[in-house]
């Protein structure tokens, strides 16, 4: 199974995503999990520190 998790900005969004990713990997070790975030948020440190790949994207708020 391939899973994409979009979470970033604050730990309030990132840590639940990591918990879900870890449970997916526990249930199926062949799964692939990719996080998507920006270079401005905490995800740049938290996601890799937990052993997951992070792909950076550009984003802006809606007006």
pTM of the model: 0.89
Domain count, the chain: 1
Q: Within a domain: residue 62?
A: no
pLDDT in tens, 41-59: 999 999 999 999 999 999 8
- Quote the domain boundaries for residue 9: 2-56
pLDDT for position 55: 98
Q: Within a domain: residue 63?
A: no
Cα separation, 22 vs 41, in Å, equals 21
What DSSP line would sit under the chain, residue for residue? -EEEEE--SSHHHHHHHHHHHHHHHHH-TT-EEEEEE-TTSTHHHHHHHTT-EEEE-------
Q: Within a domain: residue 17?
A: yes
- Out of 9-13, 26-30, 43-47, least confident range: 9-13
């Amino acid at each position: 199974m391939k899973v994409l998790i979009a979470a970033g900005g604050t730990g309030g969004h990132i840590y639940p995503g990591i918990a879900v990713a870890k449970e997916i990997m526990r249930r199926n070790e062949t799964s692939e999990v990719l996080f998507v975030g920006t270079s401005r948020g905490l995800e740049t440190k938290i996601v890799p520190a937990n052993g997951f790949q992070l792909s950076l994207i550009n984003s802006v708020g809606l007006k």
